[in-house]
Amino acid sequence: MRRRLFPRSWLLPVLALCFGVLSATAAPLRLATTTSTQNSGLLDHLLPAFQARTGIEVQVIAVGTGRALRLGEAGDVDVVMVHAPQAERRFVASGAGTQRFPFMKNAFLLVGPPDDPAHLRGETDVVQALVRIARSGARFVSRGDDSGTHKKERALWQAAGLHPQGDWYVEAGQGMGKVLQMAGELGAYTLTDQGTWLAYRDRVALEPLVGGDPRLDNPYAVIPVDPRRHPHVNHRAAMALVEWLRSPEGQRAIAAYRLHGRQAFVPTAIGPRRDETVP
Protein backbone atom coordinates (compact mmCIF):
# COMPACT_ATOMS: atom_id res chain seq x y z
CA MET A 1 0.00 0.00 0.00
CA ARG A 2 1.40 3.35 -1.11
CA ARG A 3 1.92 5.87 1.68
CA ARG A 4 1.09 9.54 1.04
CA LEU A 5 3.99 11.93 1.57
CA PHE A 6 1.56 14.66 2.67
CA PRO A 7 -1.84 14.46 4.33
CA ARG A 8 -4.77 15.09 1.97
CA SER A 9 -5.75 18.12 4.06
CA TRP A 10 -2.59 19.91 2.91
CA LEU A 11 -3.38 19.60 -0.78
CA LEU A 12 -5.74 22.54 -1.32
CA PRO A 13 -3.65 25.07 0.62
CA VAL A 14 -0.55 24.01 -1.32
CA LEU A 15 -2.34 24.36 -4.69
CA ALA A 16 -3.75 27.73 -3.69
CA LEU A 17 -0.26 28.89 -2.73
CA CYS A 18 1.18 27.71 -6.04
CA PHE A 19 -1.59 29.46 -8.01
CA GLY A 20 -0.99 32.65 -6.05
CA VAL A 21 2.71 32.58 -6.88
CA LEU A 22 2.01 31.97 -10.57
CA SER A 23 -0.57 34.76 -10.66
CA ALA A 24 1.75 37.19 -8.94
CA THR A 25 4.57 36.50 -11.37
CA ALA A 26 2.44 36.36 -14.54
CA ALA A 27 2.93 39.12 -17.09
CA PRO A 28 0.22 41.78 -16.91
CA LEU A 29 -2.36 42.10 -19.67
CA ARG A 30 -1.93 45.21 -21.80
CA LEU A 31 -5.34 46.59 -22.81
CA ALA A 32 -5.78 49.43 -25.31
CA THR A 33 -9.24 50.87 -24.94
CA THR A 34 -11.24 54.01 -25.56
CA THR A 35 -11.41 57.13 -23.43
CA SER A 36 -15.17 56.57 -23.23
CA THR A 37 -14.79 53.36 -21.22
CA GLN A 38 -12.15 55.01 -19.05
CA ASN A 39 -13.98 58.33 -18.54
CA SER A 40 -17.24 56.55 -17.72
CA GLY A 41 -15.61 54.76 -14.78
CA LEU A 42 -16.60 51.34 -16.13
CA LEU A 43 -13.09 49.89 -16.09
CA ASP A 44 -12.60 50.83 -12.44
CA HIS A 45 -15.73 48.76 -11.80
CA LEU A 46 -14.89 45.75 -14.00
CA LEU A 47 -11.15 45.17 -13.84
CA PRO A 48 -10.77 44.62 -10.06
CA ALA A 49 -13.44 41.89 -10.32
CA PHE A 50 -11.62 40.33 -13.28
CA GLN A 51 -8.29 40.37 -11.42
CA ALA A 52 -9.89 38.90 -8.30
CA ARG A 53 -11.30 36.04 -10.40
CA THR A 54 -8.19 35.31 -12.52
CA GLY A 55 -5.20 36.86 -10.76
CA ILE A 56 -4.38 38.78 -13.96
CA GLU A 57 -3.36 42.42 -13.61
CA VAL A 58 -4.54 44.69 -16.45
CA GLN A 59 -2.54 47.71 -17.63
CA VAL A 60 -4.90 50.15 -19.35
CA ILE A 61 -3.96 52.47 -22.21
CA ALA A 62 -6.94 54.77 -22.84
CA VAL A 63 -6.84 56.40 -26.28
CA GLY A 64 -9.17 56.82 -29.24
CA THR A 65 -10.31 53.72 -31.13
CA GLY A 66 -8.08 54.50 -34.12
CA ARG A 67 -4.97 54.71 -31.99
CA ALA A 68 -5.98 51.66 -29.95
CA LEU A 69 -6.21 49.61 -33.15
CA ARG A 70 -2.84 50.91 -34.33
CA LEU A 71 -1.30 49.83 -31.02
CA GLY A 72 -2.76 46.39 -31.65
CA GLU A 73 -1.45 46.32 -35.22
CA ALA A 74 2.05 47.08 -33.92
CA GLY A 75 1.84 44.40 -31.23
CA ASP A 76 2.28 47.01 -28.50
CA VAL A 77 -0.76 45.67 -26.59
CA ASP A 78 -2.32 42.26 -26.08
CA VAL A 79 -5.99 43.09 -26.58
CA VAL A 80 -8.15 46.03 -27.70
CA MET A 81 -11.58 47.12 -26.45
CA VAL A 82 -13.17 49.54 -28.92
CA HIS A 83 -16.43 50.70 -30.50
CA ALA A 84 -16.12 51.15 -34.27
CA PRO A 85 -17.44 47.96 -35.95
CA GLN A 86 -16.23 48.65 -39.49
CA ALA A 87 -12.70 49.51 -38.35
CA GLU A 88 -12.72 46.47 -36.05
CA ARG A 89 -13.61 44.14 -38.92
CA ARG A 90 -10.81 45.59 -41.03
CA PHE A 91 -8.45 45.04 -38.09
CA VAL A 92 -9.40 41.35 -37.95
CA ALA A 93 -9.41 40.91 -41.74
CA SER A 94 -5.88 42.32 -41.93
CA GLY A 95 -4.62 39.61 -39.58
CA ALA A 96 -3.91 41.98 -36.69
CA GLY A 97 -6.67 40.57 -34.50
CA THR A 98 -7.96 37.04 -34.04
CA GLN A 99 -11.69 37.68 -33.80
CA ARG A 100 -14.19 40.37 -32.84
CA PHE A 101 -16.14 39.53 -29.65
CA PRO A 102 -19.12 41.86 -29.00
CA PHE A 103 -19.96 42.13 -25.31
CA MET A 104 -21.85 45.36 -24.56
CA LYS A 105 -23.40 48.49 -26.01
CA ASN A 106 -24.83 51.87 -25.14
CA ALA A 107 -25.83 54.83 -27.31
CA PHE A 108 -24.55 58.15 -28.55
CA LEU A 109 -26.24 61.45 -27.74
CA LEU A 110 -26.13 64.92 -29.22
CA VAL A 111 -25.73 67.32 -26.32
CA GLY A 112 -25.66 71.09 -26.38
CA PRO A 113 -26.13 74.35 -24.46
CA PRO A 114 -29.40 74.98 -22.61
CA ASP A 115 -30.35 77.89 -24.92
CA ASP A 116 -30.14 75.48 -27.91
CA PRO A 117 -29.35 78.03 -30.67
CA ALA A 118 -29.86 75.45 -33.44
CA HIS A 119 -33.28 74.47 -32.02
CA LEU A 120 -32.58 70.75 -31.74
CA ARG A 121 -34.80 70.05 -28.73
CA GLY A 122 -37.53 67.60 -29.75
CA GLU A 123 -35.70 66.45 -32.90
CA THR A 124 -35.50 62.66 -33.24
CA ASP A 125 -33.51 62.47 -36.49
CA VAL A 126 -29.82 62.92 -35.70
CA VAL A 127 -28.91 63.66 -39.33
CA GLN A 128 -31.46 66.47 -39.52
CA ALA A 129 -30.12 67.77 -36.22
CA LEU A 130 -26.63 68.06 -37.71
CA VAL A 131 -28.07 69.88 -40.74
CA ARG A 132 -29.68 72.39 -38.37
CA ILE A 133 -26.38 72.93 -36.54
CA ALA A 134 -24.51 73.58 -39.80
CA ARG A 135 -27.18 75.95 -41.15
CA SER A 136 -27.33 77.90 -37.91
CA GLY A 137 -23.58 78.28 -37.61
CA ALA A 138 -23.79 77.21 -33.96
CA ARG A 139 -20.53 75.89 -32.60
CA PHE A 140 -19.83 72.17 -32.68
CA VAL A 141 -16.85 70.54 -30.93
CA SER A 142 -15.58 67.38 -32.63
CA ARG A 143 -13.33 64.79 -31.00
CA GLY A 144 -11.11 65.09 -34.07
CA ASP A 145 -9.00 62.16 -32.89
CA ASP A 146 -10.03 59.17 -35.05
CA SER A 147 -11.82 57.68 -32.04
CA GLY A 148 -14.94 55.54 -32.32
CA THR A 149 -17.03 58.60 -31.47
CA HIS A 150 -15.22 60.64 -34.12
CA LYS A 151 -15.76 57.88 -36.70
CA LYS A 152 -19.48 57.85 -35.87
CA GLU A 153 -19.66 61.63 -36.12
CA ARG A 154 -18.00 61.65 -39.55
CA ALA A 155 -20.40 58.96 -40.78
CA LEU A 156 -23.36 61.05 -39.63
CA TRP A 157 -22.06 64.19 -41.35
CA GLN A 158 -21.59 62.12 -44.50
CA ALA A 159 -25.17 60.87 -44.23
CA ALA A 160 -26.24 64.52 -44.02
CA GLY A 161 -24.26 65.28 -47.20
CA LEU A 162 -22.12 67.81 -45.35
CA HIS A 163 -18.37 68.39 -44.88
CA PRO A 164 -18.19 70.56 -41.75
CA GLN A 165 -15.58 73.29 -41.78
CA GLY A 166 -15.21 76.87 -40.68
CA ASP A 167 -14.97 78.75 -37.41
CA TRP A 168 -18.09 77.10 -36.02
CA TYR A 169 -16.57 73.60 -36.29
CA VAL A 170 -13.85 72.99 -33.67
CA GLU A 171 -11.66 69.86 -33.86
CA ALA A 172 -10.35 69.27 -30.36
CA GLY A 173 -8.11 66.21 -30.76
CA GLN A 174 -9.03 65.26 -27.19
CA GLY A 175 -10.76 62.50 -25.25
CA MET A 176 -14.48 62.52 -24.56
CA GLY A 177 -14.35 64.00 -21.08
CA LYS A 178 -12.23 66.97 -22.18
CA VAL A 179 -14.43 67.52 -25.24
CA LEU A 180 -17.54 67.69 -23.06
CA GLN A 181 -15.81 70.25 -20.84
CA MET A 182 -14.74 72.28 -23.89
CA ALA A 183 -18.23 72.20 -25.39
CA GLY A 184 -19.67 73.37 -22.09
CA GLU A 185 -17.23 76.28 -21.90
CA LEU A 186 -17.89 77.29 -25.52
CA GLY A 187 -21.67 76.83 -25.40
CA ALA A 188 -21.31 74.30 -28.22
CA TYR A 189 -22.86 71.04 -29.36
CA THR A 190 -21.02 67.73 -29.42
CA LEU A 191 -21.58 64.02 -29.91
CA THR A 192 -20.92 61.88 -26.84
CA ASP A 193 -21.37 58.32 -25.69
CA GLN A 194 -23.98 57.83 -22.98
CA GLY A 195 -21.55 56.43 -20.41
CA THR A 196 -19.23 59.43 -20.43
CA TRP A 197 -22.19 61.78 -20.53
CA LEU A 198 -23.63 60.27 -17.36
CA ALA A 199 -20.24 60.57 -15.66
CA TYR A 200 -19.82 64.24 -16.64
CA ARG A 201 -23.33 65.66 -16.81
CA ASP A 202 -23.09 67.44 -13.46
CA ARG A 203 -19.76 69.02 -14.40
CA VAL A 204 -20.74 70.69 -17.69
CA ALA A 205 -23.35 73.24 -18.75
CA LEU A 206 -24.86 70.98 -21.43
CA GLU A 207 -28.13 69.12 -21.93
CA PRO A 208 -29.00 65.95 -23.88
CA LEU A 209 -30.96 67.09 -26.92
CA VAL A 210 -31.08 64.29 -29.51
CA GLY A 211 -31.11 60.56 -28.77
CA GLY A 212 -32.98 57.40 -29.59
CA ASP A 213 -32.21 57.37 -33.33
CA PRO A 214 -31.10 53.80 -34.26
CA ARG A 215 -28.13 55.38 -36.05
CA LEU A 216 -26.84 56.35 -32.61
CA ASP A 217 -26.38 52.75 -31.44
CA ASN A 218 -22.90 52.22 -29.96
CA PRO A 219 -21.71 48.58 -29.78
CA TYR A 220 -18.44 47.62 -28.07
CA ALA A 221 -16.19 44.66 -28.84
CA VAL A 222 -13.00 43.16 -27.45
CA ILE A 223 -10.39 41.76 -29.88
CA PRO A 224 -7.24 39.80 -28.95
CA VAL A 225 -4.13 40.68 -30.94
CA ASP A 226 -3.22 37.74 -33.16
CA PRO A 227 -0.23 35.82 -31.73
CA ARG A 228 0.58 34.46 -35.19
CA ARG A 229 1.63 37.98 -36.17
CA HIS A 230 3.02 38.97 -32.78
CA PRO A 231 4.17 35.83 -30.92
CA HIS A 232 5.18 37.84 -27.84
CA VAL A 233 1.64 38.94 -26.95
CA ASN A 234 -0.06 37.58 -23.83
CA HIS A 235 -2.76 35.72 -25.74
CA ARG A 236 -3.86 33.46 -22.88
CA ALA A 237 -4.56 36.47 -20.67
CA ALA A 238 -6.34 38.25 -23.53
CA MET A 239 -8.64 35.25 -24.01
CA ALA A 240 -9.23 35.10 -20.26
CA LEU A 241 -10.51 38.68 -20.41
CA VAL A 242 -12.71 37.89 -23.42
CA GLU A 243 -14.23 34.88 -21.67
CA TRP A 244 -14.80 36.75 -18.42
CA LEU A 245 -16.44 39.76 -20.08
CA ARG A 246 -18.80 37.44 -21.99
CA SER A 247 -19.46 35.13 -19.04
CA PRO A 248 -22.59 35.46 -16.87
CA GLU A 249 -20.41 36.98 -14.13
CA GLY A 250 -18.90 39.60 -16.42
CA GLN A 251 -22.22 40.41 -18.06
CA ARG A 252 -23.85 40.87 -14.66
CA ALA A 253 -21.03 43.21 -13.66
CA ILE A 254 -21.59 45.32 -16.79
CA ALA A 255 -25.34 45.48 -16.17
CA ALA A 256 -24.79 46.43 -12.53
CA TYR A 257 -22.68 49.50 -13.32
CA ARG A 258 -24.83 52.60 -12.85
CA LEU A 259 -24.31 56.33 -12.92
CA HIS A 260 -26.89 58.63 -11.32
CA GLY A 261 -29.12 55.59 -10.92
CA ARG A 262 -29.06 54.76 -14.63
CA GLN A 263 -27.52 51.76 -16.35
CA ALA A 264 -24.53 53.06 -18.33
CA PHE A 265 -23.91 50.00 -20.56
CA VAL A 266 -26.07 47.10 -21.72
CA PRO A 267 -24.51 43.59 -21.84
CA THR A 268 -24.97 41.91 -25.22
CA ALA A 269 -23.37 38.46 -24.77
CA ILE A 270 -26.14 37.10 -22.53
CA GLY A 271 -27.95 34.09 -23.95
CA PRO A 272 -26.72 31.79 -26.72
CA ARG A 273 -23.12 32.56 -27.61
CA ARG A 274 -22.46 33.70 -31.15
CA ASP A 275 -19.41 35.27 -32.69
CA GLU A 276 -19.58 38.40 -34.77
CA THR A 277 -19.50 36.99 -38.27
CA VAL A 278 -22.17 39.13 -39.93
CA PRO A 279 -22.13 42.87 -40.72
C-alpha to C-alpha distance for 97 and 81, rounded to whole angstroms: 11
What are the distances in angstroms from CA 77 to CA 69, 84, 86, 224, 240? 9, 18, 20, 9, 15
pLDDT in tens, 71-84: 999 999 999 999 99
N-terminal to C-terminal alpha carbon distance within the chain: 63
The residue ranking higher by pLDDT, 11 or 59, is 59
Please report how many Cα atoms fall inside a 13 Å half-sphere around the Cα of residue 93, on the Cβ side: 9
> What pLDDT score does 11 carry?
41
The residue ranking higher by pLDDT, 273 or 29, is 29
pLDDT interval class at 20 (50, 70, 90):
very low
As a whole number, mean pLDDT of residues 79-93 equals 97
C-alpha to C-alpha distance for 109 and 176, rounded to whole angstroms: 12
Burial-class residue 16 by CB neighbours within 10 Å (0-12, 13-18, 19+).
exposed
According to CATH, where is 3.40.190.10 located in the chain?
8-105+217-267, 107-216
As a whole number, mean pLDDT of residues 168-174 equals 96
As a whole number, mean pLDDT of residues 63-77 equals 96
User: Taking the model in full, what pTM does it have?
Assistant: 0.84
> What pLDDT score does 17 carry?
43
CATH topology of domain 107-216: D-Maltodextrin-Binding Protein; domain 2 (3.40.190)
> What pLDDT score does 36 carry?
86
> What pLDDT score does 5 carry?
42
C-alpha to C-alpha distance for 164 and 132, rounded to whole angstroms: 12
C-alpha to C-alpha distance for 216 and 110, rounded to whole angstroms: 9
Average pLDDT of the chain, as a whole number? 89
Is the pLDDT confidence value at 2 over 60? Answer: no
> What pLDDT score does 3 carry?
44
Is the pLDDT confidence value at 57 over 90? Answer: yes
CB 156 within 8 A of CB 188: no
pLDDT interval class at 6 (50, 70, 90):
very low
CATH topology of domain 8-105+217-267: D-Maltodextrin-Binding Protein; domain 2 (3.40.190)
